[in-house]
Amino acid sequence: MKFINYLESIAGVSIYPLISMMLFMSVFALALWHVLRQSKESISEQKNLPLQ
C-alpha cells in the first residue's frame, strides 16, 4: 500500500494543506510588513553592521 492510500483513509486530512498554506502566508505577510515599514536610517544602520 502506498503512502497516499494511508492519507486518503484518514478522515478530515484535507484540511491540513489548507492550514499549512494559511500559516505560511500569514508569516510571509508579517515579515513583508515588517520589512516595508522600516525606516531608511534603520536599513542603512543594519547594512553597515557587518563592516563595523
Tens-place pLDDT, residues 3-33: 777 777 777 777 888 999 999 999 999 999 9
The predicted pLDDT at position 13 comes to 77
Mean pLDDT for 33-40 is 94
SS (H, E, C) 13-45: CCHHHHHHHHHHHHHHHHHHHHHHCCCHHHHHH
Q: How confident is the model at residue 51 (pLDDT cuts 50, 70, 90)?
A: confident
The predicted pLDDT at position 1 comes to 59
The predicted pLDDT at position 42 comes to 92
Enter the pTM of the model: 0.63
